[in-house]
């Protein structure tokens, strides 16, 4: 086909090849580039991944991002010690984001289920994840677990080609979550049967607001936890919502809720075209 450039994926490096140009993936740049023409030294971890795992060579293209919403196309130009040097070619257009920033406070499920939850929420574009110590779920992550979740969130951001990183907090007690509920434009409590569907629970919320969504353990939040949240958030901000009558595992409920809320937010950021 005329004008078609073959695209292949290198088996051993994972690099995307377009014509003669290899694109080696997305890497976190700290500090962020100043603009086109700037030469950035990648952090040691990112440099090792690019040079050793990906086996990149000068001339290979990469994508850089700062974890706060900006991304750039760049070219590997050399090394300085063990650090990879990349010259910025251009800033990439901002992706379409949801109309509000979603923070998810969620009970910590057992074992690898929390790792799956972290990965999927990061892929979806959740802004912050708070591992919650509710009254019925005192379990929390160790310092090592939290660091592992943060690494998973970073890898998921790269895989999904996002420019922002989901921030994973340390374990937060119910009282600490309640104390911060007043910072948000809408506070949503997930319940099994009582409550509104996500669209109705978000009705009237303007773009740019922060949303806090609370997911308890399988038994739900206690009356004491709910009372503390309602007192801090105020009745006008608090909404109870439901995903139906099925009893979901914590991680299933959290990911389904995040997907529903963020999809509703996309309608604010990217209105659907009118139909003829």
% of the chain surpassing 70 pLDDT: 86
Split at pLDDT 50, 70, 90, the class of 267 is: low
Two tokens, residue 264:
């509703």
The pLDDT value recorded for residue 197 is 86
Asked if the model's pLDDT at residue 273 lies above 90, the reply is: no
Helices (H), the chain: 44-48, 112-124, 143-159, 174-180, 198-201, 223-233, 250-269
**What average pLDDT does the segment 204-208 reach?**
84
Two tokens, residue 224:
């004491």
The pLDDT value recorded for residue 271 is 41
Asked if the model's pLDDT at residue 276 lies above 50, the reply is: no
Q: Kindly list the structural domains of the chain, giving each domain's residue range(s) and its CATH number in brackets, ordered by start.
A: 7-91 (2.40.240.20), 101-269 (3.40.1280.10)
3-state secondary structure of 9: strand
3-state secondary structure of 172: strand
List pLDDT tens digits, range 134-154: 988 867 778 899 999 999 999
Split at pLDDT 50, 70, 90, the class of 268 is: low
Q: What count of other Cβ atoms lies within 10 Å of the Cβ of residue 97?
A: 19
The pLDDT value recorded for residue 64 is 94
**What average pLDDT does the segment 235-261 reach?**
92
Distance, in Å, from the CA atom of 237 to the CA atom of 231, rounded to the nearest integer, reads: 10
More confident residue, 84 or 220: 84
Which letter, b or e, does each residue of 167-180 get, where b requires 16 or more Cβ atoms within 10 Å of its Cβ? Answer: ebbebbebeebbeb
The pLDDT value recorded for residue 5 is 31
Show the CA angle centred on residue 175, arms to residues 173 and 177, nearest 5°.
75
Two tokens, residue 266:
């996309």
More confident residue, 235 or 1: 235
Instruction: For the chain, count helices (H), then strands (E).
Output: 7, 14
Asked if the model's pLDDT at residue 86 lies above 80, the reply is: yes
The pLDDT value recorded for residue 269 is 54
Asked if the model's pLDDT at residue 207 lies above 60, the reply is: yes
List pLDDT tens digits, range 13-69: 455 444 445 667 899 998 889 889 999 999 999 999 899 888 999 999 999 999 988
Split at pLDDT 50, 70, 90, the class of 96 is: low
Split at pLDDT 50, 70, 90, the class of 219 is: confident
Distance, in Å, from the CA atom of 198 to the CA atom of 16, rounded to the nearest integer, reads: 38
Mean model confidence pLDDT for the chain: 85
- Is residue 152 within 8 Å of residue 131, measured between CB atoms? no
List pLDDT tens digits, range 175-196: 999 999 999 999 999 987 788 8
């Amino acid at each position: 086909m005329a004008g078609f450039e073959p695209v292949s994926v290198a088996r051993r490096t994972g690099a995307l090849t377009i014509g003669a140009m290899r694109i080696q993936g997305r890497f976190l740049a700290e500090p962020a580039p100043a603009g086109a023409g700037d030469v950035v030294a990648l952090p040691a971890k990112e440099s090792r991944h690019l040079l050793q795992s990906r086996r990149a060579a000068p001339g290979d293209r990469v994508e850089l991002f700062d974890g706060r919403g900006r991304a750039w196309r760049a070219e590997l130009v050399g090394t300085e010690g063990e650090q990879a040097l990349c010259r910025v070619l251009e800033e990439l257009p901002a992706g379409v984001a949801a109309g509000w920033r979603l923070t998810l406070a969620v009970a910590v499920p057992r074992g690898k289920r929390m790792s799956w939850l972290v990965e999927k929420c990061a892929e979806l574009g959740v802004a912050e994840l708070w591992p919650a110590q509710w009254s019925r779920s005192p379990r929390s992550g160790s310092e090592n677990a939290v660091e592992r979740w943060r690494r998973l969130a970073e890898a998921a951001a790269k895989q999904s080609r996002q420019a922002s990183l989901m921030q994973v907090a340390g374990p937060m007690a119910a009282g600490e979550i309640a104390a911060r509920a007043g910072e948000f434009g809408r506070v949503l409590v997930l319940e099994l049967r009582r409550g509104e569907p996500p669209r109705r629970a978000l009705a009237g919320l303007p773009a740019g607001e922060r949303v806090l969504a609370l997911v308890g353990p399988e038994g739900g939040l206690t009356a004491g936890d709910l009372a503390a949240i309602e007192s801090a958030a105020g009745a006008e901000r608090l909404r109870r919502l439901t995903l139906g009558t099925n009893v979901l595992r914590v991680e299933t409920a959290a990911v389904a809720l995040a997907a529903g809320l963020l999809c509703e937010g996309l309608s604010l950021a990217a209105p659907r075209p009118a139909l003829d």
